[in-house]
A and B are shown apart, each in its own frame.
Chain A
Amino acid sequence: DAKTTQPTSMDCAEGRAANLPCNHSTISGNEYVYWYRQIHSQGPQYIIHGLKNNETNEMASLIITEDRKSSTLILPHATLRDTAVYYCIVRVRMQTSYDKVIFGPGTSLSVIP
């Protein structure tokens, strides 16, 4: 089973920030939070990941709570091209790890003109 829970769907107005929440209350100390997105009928695309500090890249920002039990992916200025399913997963990031990498159903984000 997936170790994360996300809302099934969300809407966001074009140009506004999209805030996508993820709960991972059973996360272990050595597990990272990863975010991916999947545009219809394409392979998922990596967005960002983090351990406990907030992270930012050219695509998005990742805010992880201090207790690490939840996180929020922020798309600062959503565009119509950001309409996709967004997946939050947790996984160990160790050279000797042999992990499964389980994806839940994700959040379907619709950006409204």
Chain B
Amino acid sequence: DGGITQSPKYLFRKEGQNVTLSCEQNLNHDAMYWYRQDPGQGLRLIYYSQIVNDFQKGDIAEGYSVSREKKESFPLTVTSAQKNPTAFYLCASSMVVTGELFFGEGSRLTVL
């Protein structure tokens, strides 16, 4: 079945370590997005990409990096520069024309 797969679902890391979260989609969608969600809060946009090899910063890009080498994949790296990385991370994709976002199940990162 088509969909978006995020991995890992749960991740624990020590402070100061870089962490990469995977996001893969087989929906043939052009656009992909990364959001961060803190407890009881809405979604905040980290990065988004409309096409391969191009991406734009969202509202809270500091301390994060992404790549878009393939249409299907949009990995997010949480670097040691991110001051408070513990959060729920959500990846989404959409066809540019239709606009509906399809979300993965999320990755919960805890930094100890």
Contact = CB atoms under 8 A, between A and B. Distances in A.
Interface of A: 2, 32, 34, 36, 41-46, 49, 87, 91, 93-98, 100-106
Chain A contact residues: helix, strand, loop or mixed: loop
B59 to A, nearest CB: 8
Chain B contact residues: helix, strand, loop or mixed: strand
B99 A95 contact: no
Contacts of A2: 42
Q: Categorize the interface residue count of chain B.
A: 20 to 34
| Residue from B92, B99, B102, B103 with most neighbouring chain A CB atoms (10 Å) | B99
B44 to A, nearest CB: 8
B96 A42 contact: no
A42 B33 contact: no
Contact of B103 (A44, A100, A104): A44
A102 B105 CA distance: 19
Nearest to B88: A41
B96 A43 contact: no
